[in-house]
Amino acid sequence: VSMPSWFTLDTRLGSISITLEPPGCFMAEVYAVDLGVAGASDELKVNLGEQMLRTLFSQWLDRRAVTGDQVGRLETEQHPAGLRTGSGMEDEDGLITEPVFALPSPVPAIISEYATGGRWRRLPTEWQGSEGDEMIPHWVVECVLMRRLPPARESTKCSFYLNPCPSSGANLQSLSQGKLSAPRILRVQKVVNYVVQRLGLDDVANGEPTKDDSGILYGVEVTCNDQVVPLHMSLASVRQYIWKKSEDLELCYRRKDGVAPSFSGSASLR
């Protein structure tokens, strides 16, 4: 598994201390189904930094008595351009908006530093709900109260080339768009789905289809550096452990010998 660093860790205080800072704390995402979220779709994502903040400040949010005037004031404040707003279980970028984590017990203290160097600490259970920007960083309020995150960064995406394998005996047609961009956490399974649907291979019969270890039918496989890539691997993992180059990732697809392609699940690269 390849995951971007979204927190720093040290033991200078005699115990484990974890620090979250923007925008790096919002760089790591995983699919909700991998966390066992009930009822989650295959495309629903979880931003780990957002979820950690919403969990740590959940009591502050529950106790906060927001009047209509306060809501209006917060909504009309000048926010950084491009902020993403969530609503319901999923926002426009496919990120889950409901908390999925639970704090351990006993809850450790939160230690923070102001820009001036001052320190304060408080247990998450001690929040009164009346604390504002004078105690809680504005970017935390944006995330927890307003459900807004900074704009998606390039590091959450992975650019890659997707072309037919030149060495394949039964060459497949090239896609109209050779270079693509998708979330780093996208599984190769979805890349195969994308190829099968875009080339219309789900309507082609060429032998008896076989099943992979997950029981899903496939007749197309993806390779990288002449190595067949497992369907469960993410693009980030393929880049780090198989591609191992600084250039854009290069993937090839080919038809499995004697196997008819079969489409399963979503073909979108989300």
pTM for this predicted structure: 0.67
Report the b/e string of 209-232 with b at 16+ CB within 10 A. beeeeeebebbbbbbbeeeebbbe
Which of 104, 110, 235 is closest to 162 using CA atoms?
235
pLDDT tens digits along 171-227 = 678 887 778 999 889 999 999 999 988 888 765 444 444 445 443 456 889 999 999
Q: Which helix (H) or strand (E) is 160 found in, with range?
A: strand 157-164
pLDDT tens digits along 122-146 = 777 787 888 877 778 888 888 888 8
User: In this structure, are residues 267 and 182 in contact, taking their beta carbons and an 8 Å threshold?
Assistant: no
Share of the chain above pLDDT 90, in %: 18
Residue 252 pLDDT class (50, 70, 90 cuts) = very high
Q: Which two tokens stand for residue 179?
A: 């270079």
| Model pLDDT, residue 156 | 76
